Structure 1
C-alpha cells in the first residue's frame, strides 16, 4: 500500500517535470487512485496509533490483597497537549484529572514526560511553581463511573504516590463521596516519603455514609506551600481493599 502511494507520487512528479499534457480521464484515474491510497494510509496510521495506545496503557499493578487498582490516564497514555503553561483554574489534564488553583498570576507549569525505563508507569507528571500567591493548589482525580459501582462501607481506598520533590512540602488527600445531594469528605495527610513512595488510606466505615450506592468519587491531591517547588509524580495508583471485619 505504501509502495503504491509512493509510485503514484513519483508518477505525478515525472509528469509535471516533463510538462506533458494529460487528458481528463487520465487525471481522474490518477486522482482516484491517489485518494484510495491515502485512505489506506490513514487507516494504517489509525491502526498503528490504536496499537501504541494499547501498549502505553499499562495497567496498574494490583497490590497484594486489593480488589482492583486504578492508574489515571495521565500516567499511562500520551496527553495532548503534553504541557500546560500558566493553566487556568479547572484545566483538564485528561478525562479523569484536572488542576485547580486560585493563583492570580498562574505561574505554574504542568508537564507530562516519558518515565524512566524502570518506572512502573509509562509517563510521569511534573508540576513546577514559581511565586504562588494563591491559597490552594490541587490535582483532582475523578474515579470512572464503572469503578465506583459496588464501593461502600466495607471498603478501604488507598492512594499511593511515587514522587520526587525539589523541596519538602506537605501533601494531603481529600476523598469526596457523593450520595444524591450529599457529599461526605475524608481528609488525610501523606506521611514523609520512604524513598519515593508514600500513601494514605481511607476507611469508608468512618466516612459518615448512608447505606445506599455511591454516585461519584473524586480525590483532591493538595499541595501545601507550593511556591518555588517542583514535584514529579512518577506514579499514582488508587486501590480498593476489603475492610477487615472485627
Structure 2
C-alpha cells in the first residue's frame, strides 16, 4: 500500500511541474519567479541523488581496490585518480605542468597548449577501475609529453633490490602510439632509473622493473615515481582505463 501511495504522490508532483511548464509563457512574473526558485532547489536535490545513485549503481564501484597480483606480492596500489572522482575532473588547455591531484601530474614543453586531460568514468563489464584518464592532443610542437605518478610512502617501506615492481596498464589510443615507462627511485642524493617500452599490441600490458642491477642505498629510499612518456602524440586521443602497481619478490632460482 505504501509503495502505491508513493507512486501516486510522485505522479502528482510530476503532473504539477508539467502543468507549470505548459503555462510558463502566461504565468505572472511574481508567481513564475517563485516557481523558478522552487525548481532550482528541487534540481539541486535531484542532481545530488542522481550522482549518489550513479556512484552506487555504475560498475565498477567508486573506490574499488580489486587488483590482479602475482604470487609473493607484499604491496599493491591503484592511484586515487583511477579510484575516486576528482574535484576538478579535467583541464581543457593543459599548462606545461598540469597537476590532476597530489599523485598525478602531466608535463610537456609545447609552446601551444593544445592538450586536454580529463578523468572519465569506466562502465564496461571488464573494467576493474571505476575511473580512467583521457589525454587528447591536437597540434604538438614540443619535444616531450609525460604523465608522472608519484607512489605513496608505503611503496618504499621494506623495499629491497630483491623486489620486482610490476606496472599493469590498460591503454587505448585512436592512432598507433609508442609509450615508455620509466621508474625513478630517489635514494639519498642519487636517483636511479629503469626504462621500459610498453607493448601496446593489446590494450592490457604488464611490465616488471628488475632492480637487482641498480646501486640502490636501500636505507635511504626517499621517493619513487613513474613517468609514462608518450612519443609523437600529435592528433591523438589516449585513454588509460587502468593503472596499478604491485611489488613482489623475485622467484628463487
Specify the alignment match of 1:15 in structure 2: none
Q: What is the Cα deviation at residue 123 of structure 1?
A: 0.7
Secondary structure of 2:117's counterpart equals: strand
> Which residue is 2:67 aligned to?
61
Quote the residue 1:191 is aligned against: 199
Cα deviation, residue 199, structure 1: 2.2
> Residue 150 of structure 1 corresponds to which residue in structure 2?
158
Partner of residue 79, structure 1: 86
Q: Deviation digits for residues 140-161 of structure 1, max 9, x if unmatched?
A: 0000112221111110001111
Residues 31-59 of structure 1: per-residue CA shift (max 9 Å, x gap): xxxxxxxxxxxxxx9xx98xx69x62111
Following superposition, which runs of at least 4 residues in structure 1 exceed 6 angstroms of deviation? none
* Mean CA deviation greater in 182-191 or 63-72: 63-72
Correspondence for 2:231: 224
The CA distance in 2 between the partners of 1:150 and 1:62, in whole Å, is 21
User: Equivalent residues in 2 for 1:7-156 (5 A)?
Assistant: 56-65=62-71, 66-118=73-125, 119-156=127-164
What's the CA shift for 1:210? 2.7
Of 159, 162, 167, the residue aligned with 2:170 is 162
Aligned pair count reads 197
Question: Please, which runs of 5 or more residues in structure 1 have no aligned partner?
Answer: 1-44
Q: Is the 8 A contact 2:155 2:224 kept in 1?
A: no
60-69 or 93-102, larger mean C-alpha shift: 60-69
CA-based RMSD:
2.0
Deviations 1:185-231 (A, max 9, x none): 1111112332x111221111122313424111001000000100011
2:185 aligns to what?
Answer: 177
Q: How many angstroms apart in 1 are the aligned matches of 2:237 and 2:215?
A: 36
Contact 1:150–1:213 under 8 Å retained in 2: no
C-alpha distance in structure 2 between counterparts of 1:213 and 1:58, whole Å: 32
Displacement, 1:135? 0.4
Distance 2:218 2:122 in 1: 41
Cα contact 2:188–2:220 (8 A) shared by 1: no
SS across alignment from 2:212: helix
Kept in 1: contact 2:171–2:200 (CA 8 A): no
User: By how many angstroms is 1:130 displaced?
Assistant: 0.3
SS at match of 1:74: helix
* Maintained 8 Å contact 1:166/1:230: yes
Change (3 A) 1:188 1:245: same
Q: Which blocks of at least 5 consecutive residues in structure 2 are unaligned? A: 1-47
* 3-state secondary structure, aligned to 1:178: strand
